[in-house]
Structure 1
Amino acid sequence: MAIREAVSADGTSIVYRVTGPEGARPLVLLHGWAGNLRNWGQAADLLAEHFRVLAVDLRGHGYSDAPETGYDDPKNWAADIAAVLANESITAGAILLGWSYGGIVLTDYLATYGAGAVAGVVYTGSMASIGRDVPGAVTGPAMVKAIPDVFEESSARAMRGFAAFGNANTGKGPDKGPDAQRLFGGSISTLPRVRKALFYRTVDNTETLRALDIPVLVMHGTADPVVPVENGRYIAETAPRARTSYWEDSLHGLFIEDPVRFVAEVTDFAAALS
């Protein structure tokens, strides 16, 4: 395992973790809003048996820099991913996998840089666009309930806001408590101004999806209360080469609910790529 740093176009430091065998297909993991590269848990270890896994701390999250401004510019998010790929000398064959907000970020990258370095993309519990009245960008009831408390600097209000997610990010079951606490801790450690800034932007990536000429896998829980399944269906209906895996009654964090199934589906998707 190696922790590395890339410098984005605007000077922002982007930290990422590399695991898995040299020479394996690169798989870039992009976490969600108020998350970090540790979100992936056991799934990251299992994926590293098949891929060269690059788990990224998005700007403003984890150990990456948190600039004061710029979160509303899709080109900044795109440049962050480009910087990581360049730092690893990846020019072709990569898979980009975005969870939740990470799906917006990977689509920002495709909109700016195209798919020359990318063989396929995976959206899991995610959307490709954001903003009020933007198609495919519906906010789920758990997120609605959490806002605006999750933007507050008051720790009590912030914790109350994040409590609204309950087990949405981890799925049901008594063994999910440690994962839920790990994700909760990462969310609280994300600066309040960053948590707020990520929601104060609007981008419609529909045309990028329509023009996408690489395979797409959409994985979505049908009971996702954070990013409703209709967002995943919108991606699948818009991207020409999309395939789907809808997990009946599953919630937001499929890679935590069932990491073995999650890894198997991503691996099968990768095996079908040229």
Structure 2
Amino acid sequence: MPYADVGEGVRLFYTDDGAGERTPLLLVHGWGTDSHQWSWHIDALSARRRVLAVDLRGHGYSSVPESGNTPRAMAGDLDVLLGRLDIAQVVAVGHSMGAQVVSILAVEHPERVRGLVTLDPGYGLTPGPALDVPRMVAGLRGEHAHAVAEQIDEWCTNAATPAVIRRWHKRRLYGMPPHVLAEAFEALFTAPGAIGLRPASDDFLVRRRCPVLSIWADPERARWEAGLLKDPASKVVCWEGSSHRLHEERPAEFVHVLEGWLRRLERGRPGGGAGATAAGPATV
């Protein structure tokens, strides 16, 4: 399987499937997991276009730096990787923390990103007792880091989540280096430059100029993001009742929605308007 050196002693693992003239897809996983997260989707997506799936720094088979395991550094790695592969533009797809990473890529390297797909993104949260980031980070830096990570991960699932998905993510969390879990989690929400919490999310995300397809489980956050999108081909969808793992719980539906939006994007037709929010299972 391919590896690429992206500088600063960081080597990224990635897979490269499919081919064709259409804009390639770049699949970016979330916190505490790796590119195996896309195993439910790669076969279907790569039947029509080139698909790259990357392990972010500190995750999976990629290098584990002692520091610098932040969404911004991860976005920089992806820019270098695409350059190494001579890929001018991608549609970047990110789940959770990966949605932050691809949004940073789109803002700081806009020439690289034809469009964005963000899945229950790790941004737009409001501070409160349920999201006590300093306490969580302290736990991730403590003696029982993996148990704390598992507790944090509990909010990512609900009754709709199959047991195999719960087990899959638990196993990956326990294989993660604790310092990466702590550093990445803090960088998502409270470290300098973090964009995970409002109003920092608003201030950063309005700088995205490319079309965005965003799929949420939370109707309120779906409505919030719809107000930030600028390109008329953007679309927000809400699968109310799904969990944070919505694209793993509903893989065929996710592929269907994504491919429909991509067809409209490539034909230059709007995908429903920046303010369009579809409730429940969506067809686009």
Task: Bin the TM-score by the shorter chain.
Answer: 0.7 to 0.9
Which residue number corresponds to residue 211 of structure 2?
215
CA-to-aligned-CA distance 1:85-137 (integer Å, 9 cap, x gap): 11221113x110110000111122122212x2321101101034xxxxxxx23
CA-to-aligned-CA distance 1:25-83 (integer Å, 9 cap, x gap): 31111111111010123122222223311111111101111111123572x22211112
Confirm or deny: 8 A CA contact 1:107 1:205 kept in the other structure: no
2:136 aligned residue (143, 147, 153): 147
Cα offset for 1:269? 1.1
Which structure would you say has the larger RCO, counting Cα contacts within 8 Å and 6 or more residues apart? 1
Cα offset for 1:195? 0.3
Cα offset for 1:21? 2.8
Counterpart mapping for 1:25-40 below 5 A: 25-40=23-38
Confirm or deny: 8 A CA contact 1:8 1:14 kept in the other structure: yes
Secondary structure (helix, strand or coil) at the match of 2:182 reads helix
Counterpart mapping for 1:37-116 below 5 A: 37-72=35-70, 74=72, 76-92=73-89, 94-114=90-110, 116=111
Cα offset for 1:210? 2.0
* Amino acid corresponding to residue 126 of structure 1 in structure 2: P
Identity of aligned residues (%): 25
Which residue number corresponds to residue 251 of structure 1?
243
In structure 1, distance between residues paired with 2:81 and 2:45: 19
Cα offset for 1:186? 1.2
Report the TM-score when normalising by structure 1.
Answer: 0.81
Which residue number corresponds to residue 264 of structure 1?
256
Cα offset for 1:232? 4.3
1:244 to 1:141, Cα distance in 2 relative to 1, 3 A: farther
12-21 or 260-269, larger mean C-alpha shift:
12-21
Confirm or deny: 8 A CA contact 1:170 1:257 kept in the other structure: no
Which residue number corresponds to residue 229 of structure 2?
239
Report the TM-score when normalising by structure 2.
Answer: 0.78
Cα offset for 1:160? 5.8
In structure 2, distance between residues paired with 1:43 and 1:167: 23
188-197 or 48-57, larger mean C-alpha shift:
48-57
Give the total of aligned pairs: 253
Which residue number corresponds to residue 124 of structure 1?
119
1:191 aligned residue (167, 177, 181): 177
In structure 2, distance between residues paired with 1:72 and 1:166: 22
In structure 2, distance between residues paired with 1:257 and 1:219: 13
1:164 to 1:105, Cα distance in 2 relative to 1, 3 A: closer
- 5+ residue gaps, structure 2: 267-284
In structure 2, distance between residues paired with 1:41 and 1:254: 14
Which residue number corresponds to residue 131 of structure 1?
none
Task: State the superposition RMSD in angstroms.
Answer: 2.8
Cα offset for 1:188? 1.4
1:205 to 1:256, Cα distance in 2 relative to 1, 3 A: same
